[in-house]
Amino acid sequence: MASKIVPKKTPMRERPPQERVKSFKEVPFGYSPEEAITEAKRCLQCKKPTCIPGCPVEIDIPGFIKFIAEGDFAGSIKCLKEKNVLPAVCGRVCPQEDQCEKLCVLTKKFEPVAVGRLERFAADWEATQGESPIPELPKSTGKRTAVIGAGPGGLTVAGDLSRVGHAVTIFEALHKPGGVLVYGIPEFRLPKSTIYREVDYLIRCGVELKLDFVVGKTATIDQLLKDFDAVYIGTGAGLPWFMNIPGENLNGIYSANEYLTRANLMKAYLFPEYDTPIVRGKRVAVIGGGNVAMDCARTALRLGADEVRIVYRRSRKEMPARDEEIHHGEEEGIIFEFLTLPVKYVGDEYSWVKEMECLRMKLGEPDASGRRRPVPIEGSNYITAVDTAVCAIGQSPNPLIPQTTPDLKIGKWGNIEADEKTGKTSKKGCWAGGDVVRGGATVILAMGDARVAARSIDEYLKTGVW
């Protein structure tokens, strides 16, 4: 243990902005073993750790950090994997600043321990060591669970249940596993190989993965329940919202889901080597202020845009995007237009968007979310030239399962209703969690929900009591 606390986190080296805007390679490099050990030694190893309650999947944070401090990286990743099947993912995309790191005792005087960077380090170190060892699996219980959606929640449920001896089959609608991690989060923030490695680990642990299978269409939940004892619904929030303003269906206007799916899942940034095209706009406007909007804006830059603007109706303070993402965007030259609301798109004679009409806003009284409500400033309309616009204002759950499962109780936003403490839905044998319950939230909250549901499923499979 260091006798004197180093006040700041060990910095993580990054690709310089002018270099990274030309490529989809990952921006931060991750720690070297020396940097990781230095950072791990900043952890005070509190007797009563305050950080753990901040982690939705209850990782033994001081535990895995201690192993790193001692140079036992294999011990560290083993400790992480007891609680988290996706450490390489969470180390990169979790909002640690709002969770574990926020509760670190060091924050009273200094910067917290860089928990996320250390988690990433341990997982990335393991990837350099060849095929990772799989834990000893218990005898099969003979019970079968169907997990719908191979996103972060589904993968977590699969990992937790297979670890206690239940058979798990994951049904994924797309042709790759990973859900939002693969179609949504760009390569420069989360390399696909990282996800596939973690999914591969689960498959080696005995989890079965069925791709190209749309539950609700290929088979309904009731059909699945004939072959499975339990069903976990982790289908995410896949229905994109539009603003319903004039001109929104002009060519060149995307939902964030489409823009990111083309760029990430379909690898349109490698067109024509890959067959799926994407519009490489020169003047791009991205509407919205969350992480998804930041991902779209940074993708547009890498696709060769001259000018990319984030258009957000509130101010920087209310932006839901992580500080780190905003900071990266600023470094890369994204322009931020705060307190601005698009009200109309105008097309050229070929129905391609050429202009966007916007309205300036000011902040009024706080709304239900506690953030100050944006209020339009009368007569502040102005017109600006755009050739591509991406609408990243949010999404709601995909309706395919609710439509085909009549006894599943649905909330007013199209979300599936599930008990907070167990993840149980209104339908016997069915659990749900993550964005399909919460609307658009985060990867780690989906994983936390999954952990809760997995416990409840395990209990049900053992006792048969609903």
Partner 1 sequence: MYKVLKREKIVPNIHLLVIESDAIYKNAQAGEFVVVRADERGERIPLNLVDWDKNSVSMMFMEIGTSTRKFAALKAGDEIATLVGPLGKPTEMTKGKKILCLGGCYGIGALYPVIRAFKEQDNTVVTAIEARSAYLLYWQEKLKKYSDEFYEITRDGTQGLQGHINDFLQEYLRTNAVDLVYVQGCTYLTYLSSETTRPYGIKTIVGLNPIMVDATGMCGVCRVIINGETKFGCVDGPEFDGHQVDWENLLSRRKIYLKEEVYSLSFYECEKYG
Q: Binding residue for partner 1 (CB under 8 A) from 23, 129, 140, 249?
A: 249
Least Å from the CB of residue 226 to partner 1? 12
Segment contacting partner 1 by CB under 8 A, of 83-91, 155-163, 170-178, 417-425: 170-178
Q: Does 205 bind partner 1 (CB under 8 A)?
A: no
Q: Which two tokens stand for residue 209?
A: 């993965």
Least Å from the CB of residue 216 to partner 1? 9
The one-letter amino acid at 462:
K
Is residue 111 a contact partner of residue 7, using CB atoms and an 8 Å limit?
A: yes
Backbone phi, psi, residue 105, to 5°? -60, -25
Distance, CA of 207 to CA of 163 (rounded, Å) = 10
For partner 1, the binding residues in 96-155 under the rule CB under 8 A are none
User: Across-strand partners of 455?
Assistant: none
In sequence order, the 6+-apart residues with CB closer than 8 A to the CB of 69 are 37, 40, 41, 43
Determine whether 91 is exposed, middle or buried from the number of CB atoms within 10 Å of its CB (0-12, 13-18, 19+): buried
Give just the sign of the alpha carbon dihedral 146, 149, 150, 154. Answer: negative
Distance, CA of 15 to CA of 26 (rounded, Å) = 8
Q: Which is nearer to partner 1, 54 or 240 (CB)?
A: 240
Give the count of residues interacting with partner 1 (CB under 8 A).
42
Q: Which is nearer to partner 1, 398 or 425 (CB)?
A: 398
Distance, CA of 338 to CA of 310 (rounded, Å) = 8
Q: Which is nearer to partner 1, 120 or 262 (CB)?
A: 262
Query: Comparing C-alpha atoms, which of 442, 458, 456 is closest to residue 56?
Result: 442
Least Å from the CB of residue 272 to partner 1? 4
| Length reported for the chain | 466
Q: Binding residue for partner 1 (CB under 8 A) from 220, 380, 381, 422?
A: 220
The one-letter amino acid at 200:
D
**Helices of type H across 225-360:** 256-263, 291-302, 323-332
Q: Does 218 bind partner 1 (CB under 8 A)?
A: yes
Q: Does 463 bind partner 1 (CB under 8 A)?
A: no
Q: Which is nearer to partner 1, 260 or 430 (CB)?
A: 260
Strand pairing of 283-287 and 388-391?
A: parallel
Distance, CA of 115 to CA of 464 (rounded, Å) = 39
Q: Which is nearer to partner 1, 51 or 279 (CB)?
A: 279
Distance, CA of 231 to CA of 148 (rounded, Å) = 7
Q: Which is nearer to partner 1, 50 or 276 (CB)?
A: 276
Q: Binding residue for partner 1 (CB under 8 A) from 164, 203, 214, 410?
A: 214
Q: Does 242 bind partner 1 (CB under 8 A)?
A: yes
Least Å from the CB of residue 388 to partner 1? 11
Q: Does 18 bind partner 1 (CB under 8 A)?
A: no
Q: Binding residue for partner 1 (CB under 8 A) from 251, 315, 422, 426?
A: 251
CA distances for 79 relative to 62, 73, 254, angstroms:
10, 10, 42
Distance, CA of 300 to CA of 351 (rounded, Å) = 21
Site string for partner 1, 30-69 (x = CB under 8 A): ----------------------------------------
Least Å from the CB of residue 386 to partner 1? 16
For partner 1, the binding residues in 265-284 under the rule CB under 8 A are 266-267, 271-277, 279
Q: Binding residue for partner 1 (CB under 8 A) from 83, 117, 262, 451?
A: 262
Q: Does 196 bind partner 1 (CB under 8 A)?
A: no
Q: Does 406 bind partner 1 (CB under 8 A)?
A: no
DSSP label at residue 137:
P
Q: Binding residue for partner 1 (CB under 8 A) from 24, 201, 228, 254?
A: 254
Q: Binding residue for partner 1 (CB under 8 A) from 217, 327, 409, 428?
A: 217
In sequence order, the 6+-apart residues with CB closer than 8 A to the CB of 349 are none
Q: Does 244 bind partner 1 (CB under 8 A)?
A: yes
Determine whether 239 is exposed, middle or buried from the number of CB atoms within 10 Å of its CB (0-12, 13-18, 19+): middle
Q: Does 350 bind partner 1 (CB under 8 A)?
A: yes
Least Å from the CB of residue 258 to partner 1? 4
Q: Does 226 bind partner 1 (CB under 8 A)?
A: no
Give just the sign of the alpha carbon dihedral 31, 35, 37, 42. Answer: negative
Least Å from the CB of residue 215 to partner 1? 10
Q: Which is nearer to partner 1, 347 or 376 (CB)?
A: 347
Q: Does 396 bind partner 1 (CB under 8 A)?
A: no
Strand pairing of 353-366 and 382-385?
A: antiparallel
Binding residues vs partner 1 (CB under 8 A): 173-175, 183, 212-214, 217-220, 223, 238-240, 242, 244, 248-249, 251-252, 254-255, 257-258, 261-262, 266-267, 271-277, 279, 350-351, 398-400
